[in-house]
Amino acid sequence: MFHSSIGQSIGLNIDKGEEDQTTGVSGKPTKIYLHNVSLYVPGHIIKIRAGFTDELPHVGFVYVV
């Protein structure tokens, strides 16, 4: 899970992603938009389905499933 600003900075049109919903620790439902992205780490490319939302409290927060 990433803040929408991160997706926008890499050229994604966030609202065009598949709409979904998740519930965080607050118990409040959060609308997210899913996109296929590739994460680059030293020596590897990892393809993931990432969720983007404006409703994260901190830009750059990462949620590991």
Q: Where are the domains of the chain?
A: 2-53
Kindly report the pTM of this predicted structure.
0.79
State how far the Cα of 32 lies from the Cα of 46, in Å rounded to an integer: 21
pLDDT tens sequence across 11-64: 999 999 999 999 877 788 999 999 999 998 889 999 999 999 998 765 554 544
Helices (H), 1-65: 4-9
Query: 57 with 50: CB under 8 angstroms?
Result: no
Distance CA 33, CA 26 (A): 19
